[in-house]
Structure 1
Amino acid sequence: MQLIGMMDSPYVRRVAISLHVLGLPFEHRSVSVFRHFDEFAKINPVVKAPTLVDDGGAVLVDSTLILDYLDRKVPAERRLLPEDLATRTFALRVVGFGLAAAEKTVQQVYERELRPAERQHEPWFERVRAQMHAAYGVLEQLVASRGDGWLCADRITQADITAAVAWRFTQYMLPGALDAVRYPALTALSARLEALPEFVATPLE
């Protein structure tokens, strides 16, 4: 399998980490949707990261759909989204708010770095920033409710991965935007997971 995209994307990184956790061999190709547009278009004409090319040559897009596919390649007891409905629902809540926080981070970065200064709309920027903090506020409560262990089981799941990846991504892209004092549970979760071999093997850069 080939994973196409840059690790500075939270969507690419959560797929890469999940591949490592699941023990699925893959080749990572650091192709940028900005700097290598034409090269990326030859793999996926939509130029969307992450893109996964499976061993049969099928091209898959969207991190959530890719992760669903990867979960089906391993036995149920090893899947990163739990099978039990109640546990799965909690995991999906964490993943959903984590992805929302990452999305609102991306929107802020695009507004500041890609849109010309004279066309930037401050009320829109403030709204998106508030949405990001709202998402992290809910995520902080969900993570704190599970103490210091794994969020959904006696092992790492997609909830742990996505929450930690989103948190680290915002810290990286928006330095100083997140106060560790305001989000102690997320800060602790991130520190613990970023020390894992699967996270170390996929540095955000």
Structure 2
Amino acid sequence: MRLIGMLDSPYVRRVAVTLRLLDLPFAHEPVSVFRHYDAFAAINPVVKAPTLVTDDGVVLMDSTLIIEHLERLAGRRLSPDRPADHARAQRILGLALAACEKTVSLVYEFNLRPEEKHHAPWIDRVRGQVSAAWSLLEAELASPPTWLEGSQAWLTCAVVWTFAIRTLPESVDAAACPRLVALTARAEATPAFLVTPFDKV
């Protein structure tokens, strides 16, 4: 399998860490959707990261859909089976992905859109959404479930927090989220994370 995309993308990185945790062999190709647009388009004309090319040559995109395929391929899931536990895992995962989506929106706003075209009310709204997601995640971690570590919810929380703190530190209040800070520190020290480091270039 081939994983296409840069590890400074939280979506690419969550797939890469998932591949490691599922012990699935793959080749990572750090192709940028910005700097290597034509090269990326030659693999996936939609130019969406992450892109996964299966051993059969099928081109997949969207991190959540890719992860669903990988779990089927591996024959195991990185989420609990019991319905109540699964619902909580999906809540934590949903909050992490919401924080991710809104942080990415801010990164694009500040890095790609001309300053004179910034719309302050919209920026304030998105910042409020990010803040709410972090606060709710921190509350979820006050009594973490026993199955959390090693789950998709766990790894996505860590990947997204690292992305936010490294890419847009002003969007997070680390002092208000000590549990997220601690979770991420533990995750980043594990082999699956160490071999797929955040790579901001």
Matched, 1:159 2:157: no
User: Structure 1 residues 152, 68: CA separation in 2 closer, same or farther (over 3 Å shift)?
Assistant: farther
Residue 126 of structure 1: how far off its partner (Å): 1.0
What is the one-letter code of the residue matched to 1:68?
Answer: E
1:75-90 to structure 2, matched below 5 A, reads 75-76=75-76, 79-90=77-88
Q: Distance in 2 between matches of 1:89 and 1:16?
A: 24
CA contact (8 A) 1:90 1:152 kept: no
What is the one-letter code of the residue matched to 1:125?
Answer: I
Q: Secondary structure at the match of 2:52?
A: strand
Q: TM-score normalized by structure 1?
A: 0.93
What is the one-letter code of the residue matched to 1:41?
Answer: A
Q: Distance in 2 between matches of 1:154 and 1:122?
A: 37
CA contact (8 A) 2:44 2:59 kept: yes
User: Structure 1 residues 93, 154: CA separation in 2 closer, same or farther (over 3 Å shift)?
Assistant: closer
Q: TM-score normalized by structure 2?
A: 0.95
Structure 2: tracts of 5 or more residues without a match = none
User: Greater shift after overlay, 82-91 or 162-171?
Assistant: 82-91
1:3 alignment counterpart:
3
Matched, 1:181 2:175: yes
1:107-122 to structure 2, matched below 5 A, reads 107-122=105-120
User: Structure 1 residues 4, 124: CA separation in 2 closer, same or farther (over 3 Å shift)?
Assistant: same
2:102 alignment counterpart:
104
1:199 alignment counterpart:
193
Q: Distance in 1 between matches of 2:181 and 2:149?
A: 19
Q: Distance in 1 between matches of 2:26 and 2:19?
A: 8
Structure 1: tracts of 5 or more residues without a match = none
CA contact (8 A) 2:37 2:47 kept: yes
